[in-house]
Amino acid sequence: MGLFSKDPDSDDDSDGEKSTFFEERGFIASAIVVGAVLICLVVWFMLGSRSDNPTANPSQTPSTVVPTGQPTEEETNQPPASPTALPTGTVPTPPPANSRDGGCHNKNPNQAIPRLAAPVAVSWQFEGKMLIPIQAANGPATTSPNGVRSCFSHSPTGAVLAAMVALGQLQNPEVGVATLRSRVYPGPGRDAAIAEARKATTTPSAMTGGLQFAAFKVLDYPTNATRAIIQIVADLNGKAYGAMPITMRWYRGDWYVELQDDGSFNGSLEPDILSSLSGYVRFSGAA
């Protein structure tokens, strides 16, 4: 079952001949990862190149199932937070590739859920063609010899950073498969993704374009969480915003992406197409 199979502008799922919203915009329907984690990631990030089709209906109601712990309606109606502003011409000094103090080594990370303000003192670095966030306090604090980043703090902010960094690395063909093997929680989902990766004959390197992260929302983070759900939003080439919930699992002292048994992120759940970032925390390295 593909991730992108339903037309969000239609209540009728029985019309098999009607092209879907995502197909009309060049999405590649794929449910298994790296034929899904590598490709389906980019599928989600993309609206395709066909400019003769209408953009998403701004009045479309998001289809995401509300997990336990999602912010209340009152919280989601709050004005969007602005990214942390830095003085003109200044950039935070990036943390070292390997740190003994930050990330998963942080013994007392801030447990406040970032609902209104973006993480501060963040350095944005290119991973392939995408910018990913790096923070000394919450990670990543370790970079392996093959370039895979890991070691995030056991905190809501650590989970947000881990989700973004993992997604950014999975779309990079130079480290994507290595990231899949080492940054995805072990189980049937990872096995399915690796099996598909072995058969994959293409990479999404030519499709990523200028797509970048735009915002996030912590949907579920219980006290001393061993699992968190982070809604990550990407700017779809300036045409709309795409939002997808990513499940993170705390395992062996670090955050890992957790996949469904079929190797997908969320089974048949489709990404939300947003007309604005209201209710989300704006968080982007792009100008």
Q: At residue 274, what is the residue type? A: L
Q: Where are the domains of the chain?
A: 21-282
Q: 23: pLDDT confidence band, cut at 50, 70 and 90? A: very low
The tokens 């010899």 sit on which residue? 145
pLDDT at position 267 is 81
Q: Which of 4-18, 89-103, 109-123 has the highest mean pLDDT?
A: 109-123
Fill in the amino acid letter for 216.
F
Contact status, residue 228 vs residue 256, Cβ threshold 8 Å: no
| Residues 203-231: tens digit of each pLDDT | 444 445 568 999 999 999 999 899 999 99
Q: What is the pLDDT of residue 131?
A: 95
pLDDT in tens, 7-17: 333 344 434 33
DSSP code string of the chain: --S----TT-S----TTSPPHHHHTT-----BTTBSTTHHHHHHH---S-TTS----TTPPP-----TTPPPHHHHTSPPBPPPP--TT--PPPPPSS-SSSGGG-SS------SSSPPSSEEEEEETTEEEEEETTTB--EE-TTS-EE---SSHHHHHHHHHHHHHHHT-TTTHHHHHHHHB-SSHHHHHHHHHHHH----GGGT-TT-EEEEEEEEE--TT-SEEEEEEEEEETTTEEEEEEEEEEEETTEEEE---TTS-SSTTPPPEEES--TTSEE--S--
Is 107 buried (19+), middle (13-18) or exposed (0-12) by CB count in 10 A?
Answer: exposed
pLDDT reported for residue 94: 66
Question: How high is the pLDDT of residue 52?
Answer: 35
Most confident of 3-12, 56-65, 81-90, 194-203: 194-203
Q: How confident is the model over 261-269, as a mean pLDDT?
A: 86
Provide the token pair at 111: 């447990």
| Residue in the structure block whose two tokens are 């670090």 | 254
Q: What is the pLDDT of residues 136-193, one digit of tens each?
A: 999 999 999 999 999 999 999 999 999 999 999 998 989 988 999 999 999 999 999 9
What pLDDT, on a 0 to 100 scale, did the predictor assign at position 110? Answer: 96
Chain centre distance of CA 60:
21
Two tokens, residue 139: 């990670």
**Model pLDDT, residue 92:** 56
Confidence of residue 93 (pLDDT cuts 50, 70, 90): low
Tokens of 79: 């004005």
Check residue 26 and give its pLDDT.
31
Q: For residue range 27-81, what is the model confidence (pLDDT) as tens digits?
A: 323 333 333 344 444 444 433 333 333 333 333 333 333 333 333 333 334 433 3
CA distance 124 to 131: 6
How high is the pLDDT of residue 199? 77
